[in-house]
Structure 1
Amino acid sequence: MTHFISRIATIEIPVSNLETSIDFYTTVLGVFTDFKDQNTALLSFHQKGIPTIYLVKTEEFNPLSFINNQSKIEHSIIDFYTPLLKDFYKFLEKKNIEVGPLNINEEGIGGFGFKDPDGNLLSACNIEHLGQ
């Protein structure tokens, strides 16, 4: 069987204020602005195989997140990886960015949620999956 898809190319995120969002994502995530026009911006980690982030200005705004029917926990659709989970958490707190509880298990594996300026729920984890 032929597999046509080999990776995620781009993650598209709705935003209400493009400049504010570019500042947030470049400052918080350390991404670079590869392209920008009046309504969109393409951000990149400048690493091969890592998806780009495409910010799209919209007036029909619905923040990104969903509720798990079983646990009733609000989930993000994007988990960013960091081996320095506790340090990243403290960094966000110092920047007065809304963060959820820091959840770390006995093995030191965990994550937490945080919100961008539009209320899009994002999360960070220190879990590496096969192939990453």
Structure 2
Amino acid sequence: MPCYVTRISTIELPVTNIETSVNWYAKMLNLVVQHKTEHDAMLSFNAKGVASIYLVRTDDSKRNFFENTHTNVTHSVIDLYTYDLEGFYQFLQDHNVEVGELNLTGEFGGFGFKDPDGNHLSATNIAQLGQE
């Protein structure tokens, strides 16, 4: 069978203010603005094979998270990779970003945080198969 899909191209996020969100994502995640209007913006990690972030202005109040029925833990649908989990955690705290508990099991772990619109994001230092 042919392999038509080889990676995630873009992650789309709902936001209420493009300018505020572009500034936040550029600063907090070190993203590069590829395109921006008053209605949407495309931001990039500027790395081959890595998904872009597409911010779309909306008045819709739904955001990108869900609750695990088994554990009642709120999950994001986006996990971002960082080589320095504790450093990134501290960076976000220093910039008054709402962050969850830092969970470490040995040297690996993760934590959740929110963007200005309440979209849930997570950070992990675990590289998945094929990502290194």
Q: Same fold (TM over 0.5)?
A: yes
Match of 1:86 in 2: 86
Deviations 1:3-44 (A, max 9, x none): 211110100000001111001100000000000112000000
> Percent identity, aligned pairs only?
49
TM-score, normalised relative to structure 1: 0.97
3-state secondary structure, aligned to 1:71: coil
Structure 1 runs (4+) deviating above 3 angstroms are none
Q: CA deviation at 1:61?
A: 2.5
Letter in 2 for 1:103: N
Tell me the C-alpha RMSD between the 2 structures.
0.6
3-state secondary structure, aligned to 2:11: strand
2: CA distance between counterparts of 1:31 and 1:37?
16
Match of 2:13 in 1: 13
The answer on whether the counterparts of 1:114 and 1:121 sit within 8 Å (CA) in structure 2 is yes
The answer on whether the counterparts of 2:81 and 2:125 sit within 8 Å (CA) in structure 1 is yes
- Give 5+ residue unaligned stretches, structure 2: none
- Give 5+ residue unaligned stretches, structure 1: none
3-state secondary structure, aligned to 2:50: coil
TM-score, normalised relative to structure 2: 0.97
The answer on whether the counterparts of 2:19 and 2:38 sit within 8 Å (CA) in structure 1 is no
The answer on whether the counterparts of 2:100 and 2:113 sit within 8 Å (CA) in structure 1 is yes
Task: Map 1:51-130 onto structure 2 (within 5 A).
Answer: 51-106=51-106, 108-130=107-129
The answer on whether the counterparts of 1:15 and 1:61 sit within 8 Å (CA) in structure 2 is no
2: CA distance between counterparts of 1:52 and 1:96?
24
